Chains A and B, each alone.
Chain A
Amino acid sequence: MSDYLVQFNNISKFFGKVIALKDVTMKLRKGEIMCLLGDNGAGKSTLIKTLAGVHKPDEGEIIIEGKKTIFDSPKDALDMGIATVYQDLALVSLMSVTRNFFMGREPLKGPPFFKTFDIEKANKIAAERMGQIGIDVRDPSQAVGTMSGGERQCLAISRAIYFGAKVLVLDEPTSALGVHQASVVLKYIVKAASQGLAVILITHNVHHAYPVGNSFTVLNRGKSLGTYEKKNITREKLLSMMAGGEELDKLEVELKEMNRLSTN
Chain B
Amino acid sequence: MSTKSKSIESKTDFNQDERLQKVSKLKILLNRPELGALGGAILVFIFFGIVAGDTGMFSAYGILNFLDVSANLGIIAIAAAMLMIGGEFDLSIGSMIGFAGICIAIPAIYWGWPLWMSIIFAFSMAVLVGYFNGILVVRTGLPSFIVTLAMLFILRGATLALTRLITGRTQVPGLRVLIENDPIAWIFATDTFKWLFTWLGSMNLIALRTDGTPLATGIPPSVIWFIALAIISTWILMKTRYGNWIFASGGDKNGANNVGVPVGRVKISLFIGTAVAATIFATIQVLDAGSADTMRGTLKELEAIAAAVVGGCLLTGGYGSAIGAAFGAIIFGTVSMGIFYTDVDTDWFKVFLGAMMLVAVIFNNYIRRKVTESK
Interface string of B219-255 (1 = CB under 8 A from A): 0000000000000000000011101110110011011
- Compute how far the CA of A185 lies from the CA of B121 in the bound complex, rounded to whole angstroms: 57
- Cβ-defined contact, A99 with B14, below 8 A: no
Residues in A neighbouring B314, C-beta threshold 8 A: 94
Asked if A175 is at the interface of the complex by the 8 Å CB criterion, the answer is no
From known contacts A104-B259, A146-B373, A191-B8, infer whether A214 and B14 are also in contact, taking CB-CB under 8 Å. Answer: no
The answer to the question of A161 belonging to the interface, with a C-beta cut-off of 8 Å to chain B, is no
| Chain B contact patch, size range | 35 or more
Question: How many whole Å from B149's CB to the nearest CB in chain A?
Answer: 26
The complex places the Cα of A106 from the Cα of B239 at a distance, in Å, of 11
Interface string of A8-29 (1 = CB under 8 A from B): 0000000000000000000000
CB proximity to A under 8 Å, residues B339-375:
368, 371-375
Kindly state whether residue A88 has any CB partner on chain B within 8 Å: yes
The reply on B28 being an interface residue by CB < 8 A is yes
Q: Nearest-CB distance from A145 to chain B (Å)?
A: 3
A94 near B368 with CB under 8 A, answer yes
Q: Tell yes or no: A187 within 8 A of B by CB.
A: yes
A148 engages B12 (CB within 8 Å): no
- A104 CB contacts on chain B under 8 angstroms: 245, 248, 256, 259-261
Give chain A residues whose Cβ lies under 8 Å from the Cβ of B247: 92, 94-95, 99
Give B375's nearest chain A residue, CB to CB.
A148
Q: Is the CB of A103 within 8 A of B374?
A: no
Q: With A94-B251, A95-B247 known to touch, is A190 a contact of B373 (CB < 8 Å)?
A: no
Binary per-residue interface labels of chain B (332-344) against chain A in the complex, 1 for a CB within 8 Å, 0 otherwise: 0000000000000
Instruction: Determine if A222 is an interface residue (Cβ-Cβ < 8 Å).
Output: no
Complex Cα distance, B243 from A258, in Å, reads 64
CA distance A187 to B13 in the complex (A): 12
Q: Does B324 contact A (CB under 8 A)?
A: no
Which A residues from 193 to 222 make CB contacts under 8 A with B?
Answer: 193-194, 214
Please count how many residues in chain A sit with their CB below 8 Å of the partner chain's CB atoms.
Answer: 52
- Contact at B10–A92, with CB atoms within 8 Å? no
Flag whether B139 is at the interface (Cβ < 8 A): no
Instruction: Choose one: B22, B31, B241, B259; the contact of A115 (CB below 8 Å).
Output: B241
A133: B residues at CB distance < 8 A: 12
B244 surroundings in chain A (CB, below 8 A): 95, 99, 102-103, 106, 117
Q: Do B14 and A90 touch across chains, with their CB atoms under 8 A apart?
A: no
A150 to B1, CA, bound (A): 23
* Known pairs A94-B371, A194-B1; A75 contacts B255 (CB<8 A): no
Decide yes or no whether B181 CB sits under 8 A from chain A.
no
Q: Is the CB of A90 within 8 A of B258?
A: yes
B241 and A75 contacting across the interface, CB-CB below 8 Å:
no
Residues of B within 8 A of A74 (CB): 258
Q: Are A95 and B14 in contact (CB under 8 A)?
A: no
Annotate B22-36 by CB proximity to A: 1 below 8 A, 0 otherwise.
110000100100000
Compute how far the CA of A132 lies from the CA of B239 in the bound complex, rounded to whole angstroms.
27
Known A104-B245, A194-B5; contact A90-B374, beta-carbon cutoff 8 A: no
With A117-B239, A145-B373, A146-B374 known as contacts, the answer to whether A94 contacts B5 (CB < 8 A) is no
B260 close to A88 (CB less than 8 A) = no
Distance of B85 from chain A, by nearest CB (Å): 10
Decide if B2 is an interface residue (CB 8 Å cutoff): yes
Cβ-defined contact, B255 with A143, below 8 A? no
Query: Closest residue to A185 on the B side, CB-wise?
Result: B12
Among residues 128 to 176 in chain A, which have CB atoms less than 8 Å away from a CB atom of chain B?
A: 132-136, 138-139, 141-143, 145-151, 159
Q: How close is A174's CB to chain B, nearest CB, in angstroms?
A: 14
**Interface: A31 (CB within 8 A):** yes
The residue from A92, A143, A188 contacting B248, defined by CB atoms under 8 A apart: A92
Nearest 5 pairs of A and B residues by beta carbon: A145-B372, A92-B251, A194-B5, A90-B255, A134-B12
A-B contact pairs, 8 of them (CB 8 A): A92-B248, A103-B256, A106-B244, A142-B23, A142-B28, A146-B375, A147-B374, A193-B1
Q: Contact residues of B with A, CB < 8 Å? A: 1-2, 4-6, 8-15, 17, 22-23, 28, 31, 239-241, 243-245, 247-248, 251-252, 254-256, 258-261, 314, 318-319, 368, 371-375
**Other CB < 8 Å A-B pairs besides A115-B241, A187-B9, 20 of them?**
A31-B1, A88-B252, A92-B247, A93-B371, A94-B247, A94-B319, A95-B248, A108-B241, A117-B239, A134-B10, A135-B15, A136-B15, A145-B371, A146-B374, A148-B17, A191-B5, A191-B10, A194-B1, A194-B2, A194-B8
